[in-house]
Every structure is written in C-alpha cells, then in structure tokens.
Amino acid sequence: QVQLVESGGGLVQAGGSLRLSCAASGLTLSRKTMAWFRQAPGKERDFVCGITWGTSATYYAASVKGRFTISRDNAKNTVYLQMNSLKPEDTAVYYCAAAGGSNYYYRGPPDFASWGQGTQVTVSS
C-alpha cells in the first residue's frame, strides 16, 4: 500500500522560509516522477514543481521559480520542498504526489496516482 506523508507546514511571515518533507512507503521514489501541488480555499489544485525519475531533472511553475527548490533523498525515500521568500499568495495546503506513468514531465493532477494528505502553509503579511 502506497503512503505519502507530508510534514513541515506552518505559519511564517512574508519573506520567510519553510521546508516541506514527503516521506514515502510502498513505493520507491527514485523510480517515479514526484511533484508538489497546492490548493488555496475555493481554488483548483495547482502544480508547483516536479522532479523526474532517472536524471532528477526539476521543473517549476512560473510563480515559484527562483524561490522554491524540489529535491529528493533516495536513501530516505523522501522528497523535499524548500520554500524561500514566501509571499501571502503562497498560502495553501501543499500536497506531494507520485506520477502513475513512466514519462518524465507531468503537471496535471490526473497524471498522479498517489497523493499525500496535505500540509497547511500560511504566510502572513
């Protein structure tokens, strides 16, 4: 049974930083493209960033590029999201997800087969 468990969310002031973690069991993260999504109240779930299997290439939404960094520790079977220079508009529930297929660059929620429960990130102004 696949489980993804996020942690590290919280309340931070604008300009601050947080690091989210996503620990996996039941699958090997290094063999999957992994991604972070976020969902604000009343809005759709949006792609934030991804890291491919194989070369671990990273790709980002324009709104977070240069501020957020996704990484993976294969030994710990964990994916991370380092968030710097946070803005109030980054406030959302953040989810990690594992792709269901074997391609590299997925961005749409339907392409992801496994999801964590989410962790709240709140950025105050």
State yes or no: pLDDT of 101 exceeds 90.
no
pLDDT in tens, 53-91: 989 999 999 999 999 999 999 999 999 999 999 999 999
Alpha-carbon gap, residue 50 to 19, rounded angstroms: 15
**Average pLDDT over every residue of 94-118:** 93
Element (H, E) at 34: strand 34-39
**Matching residue, tokens 């300009």:** 15
Question: What proportion of the chain, given as a percentage, has pLDDT over 90?
Answer: 92
Structure tokens at 51: 């890291």
Alpha-carbon gap, residue 78 to 82, rounded angstroms: 13
Residue 102 pLDDT grade (very low, low, confident, very high; cuts 50, 70, 90)? confident
State yes or no: pLDDT of 10 exceeds 90.
yes
Cβ neighbours around 6 below 10 Å, total: 22
Nearest to 119 by CA among 37, 35, 34: 37
**Matching residue, tokens 């109240």:** 41
Question: What proportion of the chain, given as a percentage, has pLDDT over 70?
Answer: 100
Q: How many CA atoms lie within 13 A of 105 on its CB side?
A: 5
Hey, is 90 helix, strand or coil?
helix
